[in-house]
Amino acid sequence: MQKRKLGNSGLEVSALGLGCMGMSFSYGPPKDKQEMTALLHAAVERGITFFDTAEVYGPFLNEELVGEALAPFRGKVTIATKFGFQLKPDASPGFIGPNSRPERIRQVADASLQRLKVDAIDLFYQHRVDPEVPIEDVAGAVKDLIQQGKVKHFGISEAGVKTIRRAHAVQPVTALQSEYSLWTRTPEKEVIPTLEELGIGFVPYSPLGKGFLTGKIDESTKFGTSDFRSTLPRFTPEALKANQALVDLLAAIAAKKEATPAQIALAWLLAQKPWIVPIPGTTKLHRLDENIGAVAVELTAEDLNGIELAVARITVEGTRYPEHIEKMTGL
């Protein structure tokens, strides 16, 4: 597995990471713990060293799973987790709203250290920007945790350029995690140039469009009530039908490259910048192997230009999230 550095931070991780959320949260009921532990071990064996989790995934279930499964590999893997939500008092799935007050950040850090079974959190992201707390206070709180040895690197998720700059001025930001794929290209206009200027790495989540870019989802696909895609405007039957043109394009390129649509989608991301590290999630071993195979897919300048021209003719239908969730992004 190739390695990449997240910006100027010196944090080196595998070129592809593994998003662990779906093992416990959002995509139906939590998966079997033993099976997911075996999958996490298989990922390490295949060279993946970068794993993504969060307090809110469960809540707590995902951090506990990742912490226990990766305990034998302590010091050999990088685990990213997140703070920034006020959880429900009964610890049921979901959250009340954002909460990045410094005292809350400290509480989350201490609890995450316990669940992850580590002495320091490798990469600690603010999960979403909190409009009630100045980003300088957030960055300052994480800076204190870094000085105390509880956190190694600071990250932000779904932040806009002004927020990134303000945070970076207080505590250097190692990585931004935001949605980015051939299906969601918002970061290209302002965010990616800013990251390049400041030397910040980029960790795209949902690099396969929450499964859509794999080609395994179409307008007839039914999502259960515990699958959050059932609430997303982009996953209505009408939007899925309209967006099929993008999958058809990936399939055509994949056929020429003897690859799969998912591999082309990931290879495209990897080709954008050398400091981009996508974190596709999966709960299946054959999908893990398929995703890892994307690292070996080479897209030439001609390939990339062809993709650009073809995608420019496709209009993506449907917003990423319902309006109340979209408002929580800082883009």
C-alpha dihedral sign at 244, 292, 5, 330: positive
Compute CA distances 46 → 260, 282, 307, whole Å: 19, 15, 29
Within 8 A by CB and 6+ apart from 39, the residues are: 23, 282, 283, 284, 285, 288
Cα–Cα distance, 110 to 321 (Å, whole number): 31
Burial class (CB in 10 A: 0-12, 13-18, 19+), 271: middle
321 assigned to active site:
no
DSSP result, 203-234: EEESTTGGGGGGT---TT----TTBGGGG-GG
229: tokens are 């895609």
Q: List beta partners, residue 153.
A: 123
Cα–Cα distance, 268 to 152 (Å, whole number): 30
**DSSP tag of 181:** B
User: Residues 57, 125, 180, 205: which is the catalytic one?
Assistant: 57
Burial class (CB in 10 A: 0-12, 13-18, 19+), 147: exposed
DSSP result, 102-164: HHHHHHHHHHHHHHHT-SSEEEEEESS--TTS-HHHHHHHHHHHHHTTSEEEEEEES--HHHH
Please give the positions annotated as active site: 57
